[in-house]
Amino acid sequence: MLIRNAEINGRSGMSVRIRGDRIAAVGPELSREPGERVVQAGGGMLLPGLHDHHIHLLAVAAADGSVRCGPPAVRNREELAAALRASAAAAAAAAAAAATVQPGGWIRGVGYHDSVAGALTRADLDAMVADVPVRVQHRSGALWMLNSAAVAAIGIDDHAGARGAAPAAAPPGAGRGPDGRPDGRLFRLDSWLRERLPPSPTPDLAAVGRGLAGFGVTGVTDATVGTGPAEVELLTAAVTRGDLPQRLTLTGGPELAAPAHPRLRLGPVKIVIDDGEPVEFDELVALVRRARAAGRAVAVHCVTRAALVLTLAVLQAADDEPGAGHPGDRIEHGAVIPPDLLDQLVGRGLTVVTQPHFIAERGEQYLREVDGEDLPWLYRCAGLRRAGVAVAAGTDAPFGDLDPWSSMRAAVTRRTAAGSPIGPDEAVDAATALALYLGDADRPGGPSRRIVPGAPADLCLLAAPGRIALRTLSADLVTLTIAAGHVIADNR
């Protein structure tokens, strides 16, 4: 393939030759070779393909077949009840809406936030839908809320303990009410719950792959903590079939075996620290050391100030040389990073993989709920960069919008959906926002990948030159996406 008349790094009239899965030549005037397909860029900006540095692929696929249970689709208890009842009615009908009905008659809801109807229990969900198993996921991804039919279906309702005692069949993380019975709230129990659900069809990862390709995304880092052999097998099969044409970097635990496919690789070990939950410091230190022994960095989920302080202490204890960093260690989200912790982040060489779009998507709730002392330090970008911290971005889809371009715009504007500013000093210019998605999978926040001979032929062509593209930062400008030398999206 020969791409002509593209703008690369501000230079117009450039050509790029692709042979196989690599860039063979870059220059102002390249002649067409026999049998070579020619793509006219029309002066459009040609970029390395975007890399989403934090996403959850299987959860994205599952969310496409789920009921939306949180803002903006659902904003109060009445709307939530209506959405769940509509899905229950569809499940009972002959022409059931397969998009929202799970195998075995289950209804799966996603995106719930407490602002809709408070801390949901089985009793709350029973009042909405009682005769069909319902499970609703909190938008944080950490909590499932089940109605009584679902609690009974997974087999824990028959094992309620005495008052004050945990149900015998429910592991730590399963909530209980004042009477000792399960209250339907399951915290960080995805794998445990999955084993007790009816068999599910293979998730439609092809739709996910197409969606990403349409945004110009040619690589992702799947940051799911529970990624194990079964999930690796599913993702490998999807890549092999071409359903996922992107390059995949996977997290998971330190014992996870490296995938066999050349477009899949292991990245850092994912560690989750939940604020307010019991923490075993020595166990966290041991987990970091197991990651080191496996030759892998760590990516630590931190969404509070306390979690970040704990993370820094754990890393300090885990490494032999006090203060020494480990290449590739990451802070995921970095939702609250106060100035007094910046020196430690810089000293350890930590990268922050953040989600600036949460300011736009959730900002009004942050203004109501987040301590005023923390508001200026939410999902920081510019201030981290000024201090010398490497910063990259990921969508966190499905818990955030899958569109990385909306994330870039949010990094520039730092405004809520209603237009209120949050941390305006953390705003970056458009070129910097774009670069948040151009770093290498191994070095998020490092130098942007370049279009040079020998580089992978992973490219994103825009319909406009840079001066216009950077002004709009819109996915609508993506006209052609190429991964490993193959066109995976053509919107021309």
Q: Domain spans of the chain?
A: 65-194, 269-448
The pLDDT score that the predictor gives to residue 93 is 62
**What pLDDT is recorded for position 165?**
43
Side by side, the strands of the sheet bearing 11-19 are 22-27, 11-19, 2-8, 38-40
Picking from 423, 288, 411, 277, the residue whose alpha carbon sits closest to that of residue 353 is 411
Parallel/antiparallel/unpaired status of strands 439-440 and 443-448: antiparallel
Establish whether domains 65-194 and 269-448 are of one fold: no
CA dihedral 70→72→73→75, nearest 10 degrees, is: 60
pLDDT at residue 181, rounded to an integer: 86
Q: What pLDDT score was predicted for residue 191?
A: 84
The CATH number corresponding to 65-194 among 3.50.50.60, 3.40.50.620, 3.10.310.70, 3.40.1800.10 equals 3.10.310.70
pLDDT number for residue 94: 36
Distance CA 227, CA 190 (A): 11
Among 3.10.350.10, 3.20.20.140, 3.30.420.10, 3.30.1020.10, name the CATH number for the domain at 269-448.
Answer: 3.20.20.140
CA distance 444 to 10: 23
Placement of tokens 């319909």 in the chain: 463
Q: Mean pLDDT by 10-residue block, N- to C-terminus, for the chain (492 residues)?
A: 97 97 96 95 98 96 88 91 87 50 73 92 94 91 92 74 47 86 90 84 91 98 94 96 98 94 97 82 95 96 94 91 80 97 96 98 94 95 98 96 98 97 97 98 96 98 98 98 98 90
pLDDT of residue 451: 98
